[in-house]
């Protein structure tokens, strides 16, 4: 088999997440069907991140294998990209397609993932941004939100900010330790309303981790909790101590890094 690497972007609004799920529309389902139809045989996809329902992506990475015999009649990856985009676009598009090393794995070869979360901080909603932002009416104190980011950097147990996965009876609990390399807020500016963007880079993320962090930091920005309380929340290892879960609309898998 020969390995192919795809760079994929999608609007997750109409999908029940990335992973295959019988009976509902998913990103993996749409891509698997489209690629299988173009190649004329079934394919199995591996993704860098299994985004949740309603979450978007600009830099999702997917790997798959095609039979070696394709080399006798070389597979045109650009033609594959165009054909898949004709079937899945504009909601799901392949930005690029290239050959990969035999040992490349979109998930396990990844060194880090970068997520972005965008908040529309304005009294008036924007219909053109509603699908990709979280609308927060009350003014947010960006200075406090930036200060509250510091405790997240480093390697920590994020039990307070993650949904604990279900494990078979008798199995040890899954570790929720993750290494965060950077976390920051930026003021994107008035376009036309005030947009705030949170960007976080980590070796991996657990379920609902970014949305839990954003929801908690927004509470700091609203004055509902102090920036200094974040470290105590992190150390509590208790999901009930963190803030609200931010809606999926504003979250986007932005980039995945490889060695």
Share of the chain above pLDDT 90, in %: 89
CA 120/CA 193 separation, integer angstroms: 7
- Active-site residue identified among 11, 52, 68, 157: 52
CA 229/CA 216 separation, integer angstroms: 10
Predicted local confidence at residue 67, as pLDDT: 84
The domain ranges of the chain are 2-99, 111-258
| Strand 251-258 to 134-136 pairing | unpaired
The predicted model gives 93-98 an average pLDDT of 98
SS3 call for 165: coil
CATH number of the domain at 111-258, out of 3.30.70.660, 3.40.190.10, 2.60.40.420, 3.40.225.10?
Answer: 3.30.70.660
Predicted local confidence at residue 70, as pLDDT: 47
The predicted model gives 242-250 an average pLDDT of 96
Q: Tens of pLDDT along 146-199?
A: 999 999 999 999 999 998 877 666 667 788 999 999 999 999 987 778 999 999
The predicted model gives 41-47 an average pLDDT of 96
CA 98/CA 81 separation, integer angstroms: 10
Active site residue 52: yes
Predicted local confidence at residue 119, as pLDDT: 98
Q: Which of 256, 247, 255 is nearest to 12 (CA)?
A: 247
Predicted local confidence at residue 156, as pLDDT: 97
Predicted local confidence at residue 192, as pLDDT: 73
Predicted local confidence at residue 174, as pLDDT: 80
CATH architecture of 2-99: 2-Layer Sandwich (3.30)
């Amino acid at each position: 088999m020969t390995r192919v690497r795809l760079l994929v972007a999608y609007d997750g609004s109409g999908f029940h997440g990335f992973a295959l799920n019988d009976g509902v529309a998913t990103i993996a389902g749409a891509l698997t069907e489209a690629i299988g139809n173009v190649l004329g045989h079934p394919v199995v996809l591996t993704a860098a991140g299994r985004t949740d329902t309603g979450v978007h992506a600009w830099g999702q990475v997917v790997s798959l294998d095609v039979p070696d015999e394709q080399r006798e009649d070389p597979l045109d990856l650009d033609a594959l990209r165009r054909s898949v985009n004709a079937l899945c676009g504009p909601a799901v598009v392949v930005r690029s397609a290239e050959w990969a090393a035999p040992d490349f794995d979109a998930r396990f070869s990844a060194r880090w993932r970068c997520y972005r979360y965008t908040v529309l901080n304005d009294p008036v909603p924007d219909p053109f941004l509603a699908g990709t932002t979280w609308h927060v009416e009350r003014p947010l104190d960006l200075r406090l939100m930036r200060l509250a980011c510091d405790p997240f950097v480093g390697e920590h147990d994020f039990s307070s900010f993650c949904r604990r996965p279900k494990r078979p009876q008798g199995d040890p609990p899954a570790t929720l330790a993750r290494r965060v390399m950077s976390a920051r807020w930026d003021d994107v500016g008035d376009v036309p309303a005030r947009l705030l963007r949170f960007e976080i880079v980590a070796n991996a993320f657990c379920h609902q981790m970014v949305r839990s962090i954003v929801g908690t930091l927004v509470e700091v920005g609203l004055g509902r909790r102090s920036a200094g309380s974040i470290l105590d929340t992190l150390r509590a290892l208790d999901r009930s101590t963190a803030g609200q879960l931010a809606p999926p609309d504003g979250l986007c898998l932005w980039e995945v890094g490889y060695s």
